[in-house]
C-alpha cells in the first residue's frame, strides 16, 4: 500500500512524493484523508529550518497534524467502523521518511486510539479541532481565569477569544495588521498602540514573537500572568525589575491533551463554539507547494487547507 504525501526533503524544499505505507496492524485503521490543514506556526518553522531541535526532528519529513478523513480499513482488534469520518492528529507510517507530524497525505495508517470520530456536519472544519484543543489547553479550561488580553488575531487567537467568551469573559485582542482585525465575535480587536491599559490580569500571547515579553509584562496588573501559547524559535528573555515589581508569573502552555480535544469537539458539535470564518483558503493537494507558500506568505490567509479527495 502506498500514498501521495507532502514531503519536506530539506528546509524550503517541499515536494509531493509517492511513499510506501507501513502495513496496518491489528490495532490500526487506514484513513483516506479528505482535507489537511497547514499550520503557520510549527509547520512554518519546519519549512524554514528554524524549528528548534527536539527528539525525532529531522528531514525528510511529512508535515501535518490537522487532518480529516474516512476510515477505509480496520484491524481485527479495533472497534472502528468503515466510513466513519475522523480527525487524525498525524501519523508515523512512512518508513524512513519521518512523520512530523505526518498528516499531510492522501492515506495514512494510524492506531485507532489516535483518531477521533466527530459529527459529519462539521465537514472540513474538523481540521480546526487541533487548534481549538490547543486554545483550550492554553487558557486552562472553563474553570481557569480567562485571558483579558490576547496577543494575535490569527486562528489560534480567535479560538482562544471565542472560548473565553463562552466562559463569560470579555477579552481584548491586540492585532497590528488591519486586514486581520475583522471577524471579532463578542470581543474587541485593537492596535496595541491604541491601548493605554496596564492592569491586565492574564495575557495570552500567541504571536510567537520572542522579543515581546518585556512589553507584555509592562501591561500586567500586580500578580498578573503571561501565558506563552505561541511557538518561539528564538530564546526568550525579560528585564527582571519590572517583573519583580509586579510579582509577574509566566506560564508556558504545552501541547493539548485528549480531554481538551474532547471538550472542544463537544462544543463545536453543539454549536456553542463556532468554527466559521477561520478557513479562508483551499487548494487541491496537487498544488501543495504553492499552497504552502501562500499559507506562509499571504497575511490574508488565516487557514489554508489541502483537498485530498481526488487522490485516495
DSSP secondary structure letters along 90-155:
----STTSEESS---BSEEEEEGGG-EE--GGGGGGGGGHHHHHHHHHHHT-TTSPPPSEEE--SH
What's residue 52's pLDDT? 79
- pLDDT by position in tens, the chain (length 312): 999 999 999 998 999 999 999 999 999 999 999 999 999 888 998 988 888 777 778 899 999 999 999 999 999 999 999 999 999 999 999 999 988 799 999 999 999 999 999 999 999 999 999 999 999 999 986 557 899 999 999 999 999 999 999 999 999 999 999 989 999 999 999 999 999 999 999 999 999 999 999 999 999 999 999 999 998 888 999 999 999 999 999 999 988 999 999 999 999 999 999 999 999 999 999 999 999 999 999 989 999 999 999 997
What's residue 145's pLDDT? 83
Q: Where do the structural domains in the chain lie, given as residue ranges?
A: 2-117+280-307, 131-252
Q: Mind listing the pLDDT tens digit for each residue in 174-227? A: 999 998 999 999 999 999 999 999 999 999 999 999 999 999 999 999 999 999
What's residue 141's pLDDT? 60
- Separation between Cα atoms, residue 139 and residue 225, nearest integer Å: 11
Q: Which three cell numbers stand for residue 294?
A: 501562500
Which CATH entry fits the domain spanning 2-117+280-307: 2.40.128.20, 3.40.50.1100, 3.90.180.10, 3.20.20.70?
3.90.180.10
Question: What global pTM score does this model have?
Answer: 0.94
Secondary structure of residue 4 in the 3-state scheme: strand
- Separation between Cα atoms, residue 150 and residue 225, nearest integer Å: 12
User: So what's the architecture of 131-252 in CATH?
Assistant: 3-Layer(aba) Sandwich (3.40)
- Separation between Cα atoms, residue 28 and residue 22, nearest integer Å: 11
28-38 and 67-74 beta bridge pairing: antiparallel
- Separation between Cα atoms, residue 138 and residue 159, nearest integer Å: 11
Secondary structure of residue 85 in the 3-state scheme: strand
Amino acid at each position: 500500500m502506498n500514498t501521495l504525501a507532502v514531503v519536506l526533503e530539506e528546509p524550503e524544499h517541499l515536494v509531493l512524493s509517492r511513499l510506501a505505507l507501513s502495513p496496518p496492524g491489528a490495532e490500526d485503521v487506514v484513513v483516506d484523508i479528505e482535507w489537511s490543514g497547514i499550520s503557520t506556526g510549527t509547520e512554518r518553522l519546519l519549512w524554514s529550518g528554524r524549528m528548534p531541535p527536539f527528539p525525532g526532528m529531522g528531514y525528510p519529513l511529512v508535515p501535518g497534524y490537522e487532518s480529516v478523513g474516512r476510515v477505509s480499513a480496520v484491524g481485527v482488534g479495533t472497534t472502528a467502523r468503515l466510513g466513519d469520518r475522523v480527525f487524525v492528529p498525524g501519523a508515523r507510517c512512512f518508513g524512513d521518511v519521518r512523520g512530523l507530524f505526518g498528516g499531510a497525505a492522501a492515506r495514512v495508517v494510524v492506531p485507532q486510539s489516535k483518531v477521533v470520530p466527530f459529527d459529519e456536519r462539521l465537514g472540513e472544519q474538523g481540521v480546526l479541532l487541533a487548534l481549538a484543543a490547543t486554545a483550550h489547553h492554553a487558557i486552562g479550561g472553563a474553570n481557569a481565569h480567562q485571558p483579558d488580553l490576547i496577543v494575535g488575531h490569527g486562528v489560534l487567537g480567535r479560538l482562544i477569544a471565542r472560548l473565553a467568551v463562552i466562559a463569560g469573559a470579555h477579552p481584548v485582542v491586540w492585532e497590528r495588521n488591519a486586514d486581520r482585525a475583522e471577524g471579532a465575535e463578542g470581543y474587541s480587536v485593537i492596535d496595541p498602540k491604541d491601548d493605554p491599559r496596564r492592569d491586565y490580569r492574564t495575557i495570552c500571547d500567541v504571536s510567537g514573537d520572542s522579543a515581546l515579553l518585556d512589553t507584555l509584562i509592562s501591561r500586567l496588573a500586580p500578580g498578573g500572568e503571561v501565558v506563552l501559547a505561541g511557538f518561539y524559535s528564538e530564546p526568550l528573555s525579560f528585564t527582571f525589575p519590572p517583573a519583580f515589581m509586579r510579582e509577574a508569573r509566566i506560564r508556558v502552555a504545552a501541547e493539548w491533551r485528549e480531554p481538551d480535544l474532547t471538550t472542544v469537539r463537544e462544543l463545536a458539535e453543539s454549536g456553542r463554539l463556532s468554527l466559521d470564518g477561520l478557513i479562508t483558503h483551499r487548494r487541491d493537494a496537487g498544488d501543495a507547494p504553492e499552497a504552502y507558500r501562500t499559507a506562509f506568505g499571504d497575511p490574508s490567509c488565516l487557514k489554508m487547507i489541502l483537498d485530498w479527495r481526488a487522490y485516495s
